[in-house]
Amino acid sequence: MKAGIVGLPNVGKSTLFNCLSNAKAQSANFPFCTIEPNVGVVNVPDRRIEKLESLVNPERVVPATVEIVDIAGLVKGASKGEGLGNQFLGNIRETDAILHVLRCFENDNIVHVDGNINPVRDKETIDMELQLKDLETAEKKLEKVKRAAKTGNKEAQKEEAALLKVKNGLEAGKSVRAIELSDEERAEFIKPLQFITDKPVMYVCNVNESDAVTGNEYVDKVKEAVKDENAEVLVLAVGTEADITELEDYEERQMFLQDIGLDEPGSAKLIRGAYKLLNLQTYFTAGVKEVRAWTIPIGATAPQAAGVIHTDFEKGFIRAEVIAYDDYVSYGSEAKVKEAGKMRVEGKEYIVKDGDVMHFRFNV
Ligand SMILES: Nc1nc2c(ncn2[C@@H]2O[C@H](COP(=O)(O)OP(=O)(O)OP(=O)(O)O)[C@@H](O)[C@H]2O)c(=O)[nH]1
Ligand SMILES: [Mg+2]
């Protein structure tokens, strides 16, 4: 599962990416400084895994991860090949969610490609480029489907109708996620085309340090502009967070954060937000060898969850032994949970809950 970072040049995308991942991307006060898409694998911060670690004392701990992709800034005309962003729109199409970075900080030393600070206008610029790119995709597909629809192919006619709705919506300045379509149309015809504006989005308002806790008037404008989108808006002092990640010492980082008024890095909130945006949740395995967080889609069944560890676990699934995370913590160990009769045995139909601690029984 991947999340892609988009935004105008010089808004702080690569700086954010660097905060999130260990792979240091180039970041500079120079538009188009990112010329290769950077992909980073980011640990999902989760206090529960730390808690399980302290209870089990395993040889190693493996947290959940998400992939983050950083691309060059998009400019007006990107969908038609303007700037460097266009060639990277393909990389964004392959992601599952979008982190849209908006510049909400003033700093005369950092060039804004459109002259002044206006995150709502910037958002519209980016949206429009993404919509134009999607329009191109829709039109190409429509071209093909039309021919089949003309010959009387019923399925093609349905597809044509769905694509026309998308085309009209995009032309009216809507994102695909906001266009009215039936569930069937979405699942059958729209999802496979991986429209960029169909992906869930989170807005990241990049502010100066002094606004990290309270936000500012730019952030308020962004919130007002997106209030009907049902999207999360996160306030983050990206530059400051980048400075904090430079600090080697954990205590020092905590002190720095407290000085600003934060109890944890905003980037931790962001990664968790991205995880949620991707519709993912975590279950744990907890043994003396390893305590590990596994990533599954919300709604996954026990065999599907087992399949994330190994396909044999799914094929040969017999049952799962499940301990709710809260029970694990309040009784303190697997043995005590069992003694108290709080361990459940679940079958093939069981829908895994976030935080379940699981053992799988299977044969191959
Ligand atoms: N004052 C301030 N400067 C920032 C902040 N975030 C980023 N910058 C600076 O802005 C400049 C551009 O940041 P980048 O992260 O390279 O921007 P980008 O969005 O990746 O830009 P492109 O790759 O060119 O599209 C750098 O000099 C950063 O140090 C911030 O929150 N506050
Ligand atoms: Mg960059």
pLDDT by residue, tens only, the chain of 364 residues: 889 999 999 999 999 998 887 555 566 666 666 666 788 888 888 899 999 999 999 999 999 888 889 888 888 887 777 666 667 788 888 899 999 999 999 998 988 888 899 999 999 999 999 999 999 999 999 999 999 999 999 999 999 999 999 999 999 999 999 999 999 999 999 999 999 999 999 999 999 999 999 999 999 999 999 998 888 899 999 999 988 888 878 888 889 889 989 888 888 888 888 888 889 999 999 999 999 999 999 999 999 999 999 999 999 999 999 999 999 999 999 999 999 999 999 999 999 999 999 999 999 8
- Verify whether ligand 1 is closer than 6 Å to residue 256 (CB atom): no
What single letter denotes the amino acid at residue 347? Answer: G
**Predicted local distance difference test score (pLDDT) of residue 156:** 94
Helix (H) / strand (E) containing 116: none
**Predicted local distance difference test score (pLDDT) of residue 219:** 98
**Percentage helix, strand, coil for the chain under 3-state DSSP, each rounded to 5:** 45, 20, 35
Q: Which of 27, 71, 218, 240 to mutate to test the pocket of ligand 1 (most atoms within 8 A of CB)?
A: 27
**Predicted local distance difference test score (pLDDT) of residue 27:** 67
The ligand minimizing its distance to the Cα of 33 is: 1
Atom of ligand 1 nearest to the CA of 236: 31
**Predicted local distance difference test score (pLDDT) of residue 358:** 97
**Predicted local distance difference test score (pLDDT) of residue 200:** 94
Calculate how far, in angstroms, residue 110's C-alpha sits from the geometric centre of ligand 2. Answer: 13
- Verify whether ligand 1 is closer than 6 Å to residue 83 (CB atom): no
**Predicted local distance difference test score (pLDDT) of residue 45:** 85
Q: Which of 15, 32, 91, 129 to mutate to test the pocket of ligand 1 (most atoms within 8 A of CB)?
A: 15
Residue owning the nearest CA to atom 12 of ligand 1: 10
The ligand minimizing its distance to the Cα of 12 is: 1
Calculate how far, in angstroms, residue 15's C-alpha sits from the geometric centre of ligand 1. Answer: 6
Atom of ligand 1 nearest to the CA of 9: 25
Burial of residue 293 (CB within 10 Å: 0-12, 13-18, 19+) is: buried
Atom of ligand 1 nearest to the CA of 32: 24
Distance CA 202, CA 193 (A): 21
Alpha helix ranges (H) inside 226-324? 238-246, 250-260, 266-277, 302-309, 311-315
Tell me if residue 135 falls in helix, strand or coil. helix
Could you tell me which residues come within 8 angstroms of residue 21 by beta carbon, excluding any fewer than 6 positions away?
A: 38, 40, 41, 42, 68
Using an 8 Å Cβ cutoff, are 18 and 25 in contact? yes
Rg value, the chain, Cα: 23
**Predicted local distance difference test score (pLDDT) of residue 86:** 66
Q: Is the pTM of this model over 0.85?
A: yes
**Predicted local distance difference test score (pLDDT) of residue 34:** 67
- Verify whether ligand 1 is closer than 6 Å to residue 74 (CB atom): no
Atom of ligand 1 nearest to the CA of 8: 25
- Verify whether ligand 1 is closer than 6 Å to residue 105 (CB atom): yes
- Verify whether ligand 1 is closer than 6 Å to residue 14 (CB atom): yes
Measured CA distances, 51 to 2, 55, 57, 292 (Å): 27, 6, 10, 12
Calculate how far, in angstroms, residue 70's C-alpha sits from the geometric centre of ligand 2. Answer: 7
Tell me if residue 295 falls in helix, strand or coil. strand
Give counts: helices (H), strands (E), the chain: 14, 12
**Predicted local distance difference test score (pLDDT) of residue 20:** 83
Calculate how far, in angstroms, residue 20's C-alpha sits from the geometric centre of ligand 2. Answer: 13
Measured CA distances, 66 to 39, 91, 97, 140, 298 (Å): 10, 16, 11, 32, 15
Measured CA distances, 9 to 16, 83, 110, 205, 274 (Å): 13, 10, 11, 14, 22
Query: Please, which contacts does 215-220 make with residues 24 or more away whose CB atoms are closer than 8 Å?
Result: 215/104, 216/104, 218/102, 218/104, 218/105, 218/117, 218/119, 219/104, 219/119
Residue owning the nearest CA to atom 21 of ligand 1: 10
**Predicted local distance difference test score (pLDDT) of residue 114:** 86
Distance CA 35, CA 186 (A): 34
Residue owning the nearest CA to atom 30 of ligand 1: 239
Distance CA 65, CA 99 (A): 16
Distance CA 37, CA 84 (A): 11
